[in-house]
Chain A
Amino acid sequence: MAEIHFHPRGLAIEVRGLRVTLGDTAVLRGVDFHVPKGQIVALIGPNGSGKTTLLRCLLGLQRPDAGQVRLLGEEVGPAVLKRIGYVPQRLPFDRSFILSVREFLSLRLRETRGWFWQRHRSTDAHLRAALAEVGVDHLFDRPIAGLSGGQLQRVLIAFSLLGKPELLLLDEPTAGVDTPGEQDFYGLITEVHRRHKLTVVLVSHDLSMVYRHAARVYALNGIICCEGTPEEVMNADSLKQAYGIHVTPYHHEHGPGHHHVH
């Protein structure tokens, strides 16, 4: 993809000396990295590399034992979280809960929070537009629990964008999405990134999927063991550090540029 840089000054994410020990395991052992504003970047690491813990630290859900996390130049807290969009992998509630897409989106905005008592055409139009932007306005009245993985992801992105975030964090964005869906997803993320001029962080275990779309890749394995352009990180030596196994670039039938970890 074409690299687009907005607001080259300032950092979207600034992490210094971050340490977290869970039980007896030192999950994060001094993580240092900076994400400049305005890029699409990927944070990759195998299972158990501390991705989830790092993401929880970024969202203020996990208190670090040592180190510092700053988002958009501020300490993590309720004030800065308002400027952040978070797209989780899935919603864990039972199917017996029939929250509709419209109701779910209404929870994000102050002016639509009266969804139980009233229904305003103007706010409905606003919510529909948010769905239309991610290409799923036909799901407006559908229950969330019945959506496919790809549909839910789009609804979650629409939910985040309603808060006008400056930084969008996506947790395993293509887990549960098939390969054509993956291509659509990257088209969507690129478009959202361009239109909203925000920083996008893709957190994933799968290097092949972020390879073509991230301007910068950070490989995590307890520490940031390598970072750089995707080409630099794909260098087998440094990836071997991250994944602890031998890695060879592998070319897919559907086109060059896809690399898998073997």
Chain B
Amino acid sequence: MFTEAYMQRALLTALLLAPLCGLLGVFVTARRMAFFSDTISHAALAGIAVGFWLGFTDPTLPMIAVSLGVAMFMLWLREKTDLLNDTIMALLLSGSVAFGIVVLSLLKGYRGELHRYLFGDILSVGPQEVAIAVVVTAIVGTVVFARLNALALLTAHEDLAHVSGISVRGLNYAFVLVLTVVVALSIRLLGIILVTSLLVIPPATARNLANNLRQQLILAIIVGALGGAGGVALSFQFDLPCGPSIVLTCLGLFLITLVGSALRKSRRRNLSPI
């Protein structure tokens, strides 16, 4: 099935980025940053538009740059203004999308590109994307595991992390930086609209089975890998868009584990003495 080079590239990229999203997603969901990452991914649309406008053939770099800019602007607004978090994110999300679509409409001949970036396109995964995915996964994976304790404590309580000697502000910015790069890269596979689901569904699936954080992290990585690979396979087999295939595969795993954990709980309840 995966005989063609482009198929192998897509599969490899999915096997790298989807588990990475699962790992980061455990902290994203616990810190209620799903909407934040959704804003980052939609900001990428503005980045894509700016990239084409400036004449980039591959908009990866402007995509990451604009997403990062929007992410940092969000953090700045959060610190410096009294605006509610949700308000800030909704403003920047809708603003980025509107800006991106207007610019793409003005640039003749790029409307077709829009679909690829909204829903993901495995055909767009070139050797360069694979190389970037390998490097980013290696670096981000190493950094996250090296700073796992600080990240866990930061997630549990920021002030407690501060008192325990962790540089809270630095770690928060570093986390947003890492998240932005991973989200922007994953847009190739998942598309702007669906990329956040890869940060949310694997950790939620893992939560159905896990009893502690260690298990949740390991399972989120495994679910990400299964969902990513399964989705890419489905996409090839039935000629489906890649992003929705990955999301549906992950959702299937979520539902199976949900039923499994419900059954396990009810069995435990029946066994316990009244």
Contacts and interface: CB of A to CB of B under 8 A. Distances in A.
Interface of A: 56, 59-61, 78, 81-82, 84, 86, 88, 91-94, 96-100, 102-104, 106-108, 113, 115-116, 141, 143-144, 159, 163
Contacts of B162: 59-61, 81
Interface stretch (B206-214, B237-245, B250-258): B206-214
B165 A94 contact: no
A63 to B, nearest CB: 13
Interface of A is mostly: loop
A61 B159 contact: yes
Interface string B16-40: 0000000000110111100000000
Contacts of B212: 98-100, 102-103, 141, 143
B163 A92 contact: no
Interface stretch (B101-109, B131-139, B150-158, B265-273): B150-158
Contact of B153 (A94, A107, A116, A141): A107
Contacts of B157: 88, 91-93
Contacts of A86: 159-160, 163
A219 B217 CA distance: 46
Given A84-B163, A116-B217, A103 B31 contact: no
Interface in B202-225: 203-204, 207, 210-217
Contact of B149 (A91, A92, A113): A113
Contacts of B32: 94
Contacts of B213: 97-100, 103
A110 to B, nearest CB: 10
B159 A88 contact: yes
A144 B207 contact: no
A96 B214 contact: no
A108 B164 contact: yes
A144 B156 contact: yes
A206 B211 CA distance: 37
Contacts of B156: 91, 93, 97, 99, 104, 107, 144
Contacts of B165: 78, 81-82
Contact of A59 (B27, B159, B203, B216): B159
Interface of B: 26-27, 29-32, 145, 148-149, 152-153, 155-157, 159-160, 162-165, 203-204, 207, 210-217
Contacts, number: 88
Contacts of B152: 99, 103-104, 107
Contacts of B214: 103, 115-116
Residue of A56, A98, A143 ringed by the most chain B CB atoms within 10 A = A98
A113 B148 CA distance: 9
A103 B26 CA distance: 15
A181 B164 CA distance: 28
B153 A100 contact: no
A92 B216 CA distance: 19
17 contacts: A59-B162, A78-B165, A86-B159, A86-B163, A92-B157, A93-B156, A96-B203, A96-B204, A97-B216, A103-B214, A106-B149, A107-B153, A115-B214, A116-B148, A116-B217, A141-B212, A143-B211
Contacts of A78: 165
Contacts of B203: 96
Contacts of B155: 93, 97, 99
B227 to A, nearest CB: 17
A252 to B, nearest CB: 33
A115 B207 CA distance: 19
B26 to A, nearest CB: 7
Q: Which 7 A-B pairs have the closest CB atoms?
A: A97-B30, A100-B212, A86-B163, A99-B213, A107-B153, A93-B30, A96-B29
Contacts of A141: 211-212
Given A86-B163, A116-B214, 10 more contacts: A59-B162, A91-B156, A93-B155, A97-B216, A99-B155, A100-B213, A104-B156, A116-B145, A143-B212, A163-B164
Contact of A93 (B31, B145, B207): B31
B185 to A, nearest CB: 24
A81 B31 contact: no
Nearest to B27: A97
B26 A97 contact: yes
A77 to B, nearest CB: 10
Nearest to B150: A107
Nearest to A145: B30
A161 to B, nearest CB: 13
A98 B216 contact: yes
B209 to A, nearest CB: 10
A103 B165 CA distance: 18
